[in-house]
Amino acid sequence: MTLPSTLPSLPEIPSVEIIRQVFAHGSSLTFSAHSGLPQSNERLEFLGDSYINFCVSDILFHEFPTLSPGELTALRAGLVSNANLNIWARAYALQDHLVMGFSMAHLDIPEKAEKLIGDLFEAYVGGVLVSNPDGRIL
């Protein structure tokens, strides 16, 4: 995938708490009786993944009216693959802000883990969604 020479700005996440959650890998969890927002980015990743898939599905559905559902699914899978999301996340240097527990951080995993960084991009999208009063980013 070739990225544009000038990237669009990422939507801002105004909440420090949500930003903290976006960049908190599950290995960074601390075990406490705190019952606030979840500490890792997994729920935001779930939301972001669903939203990205919906948006890409909607675009493909309208842009390619003659493709079968199987062809649309294959095309979407290629576009929203971990490899592509990893490229976008790295283009915005999201991995530089990822917080991991010692068990993961000392292994230098972000430099090698395509899925881990792709998931971070999805978590960022989820964070933007929950930060937006309308619940949408498009």
Q: Catalytic residues, which ones?
A: 49, 122
Q: Please give the full DSSP string across 62-118, using - where no structure is assigned.
A: HH-TTS-HHHHHHHHHHHT-HHHHHHHHHHTTGGGG-B--HHHHTTTGGGT-HHHHH
Q: Quote the CA–CA distance of 119 and 54 in Å, as a whole number.
A: 16
Q: Quote the CA–CA distance of 47 and 71 in Å, as a whole number.
A: 24
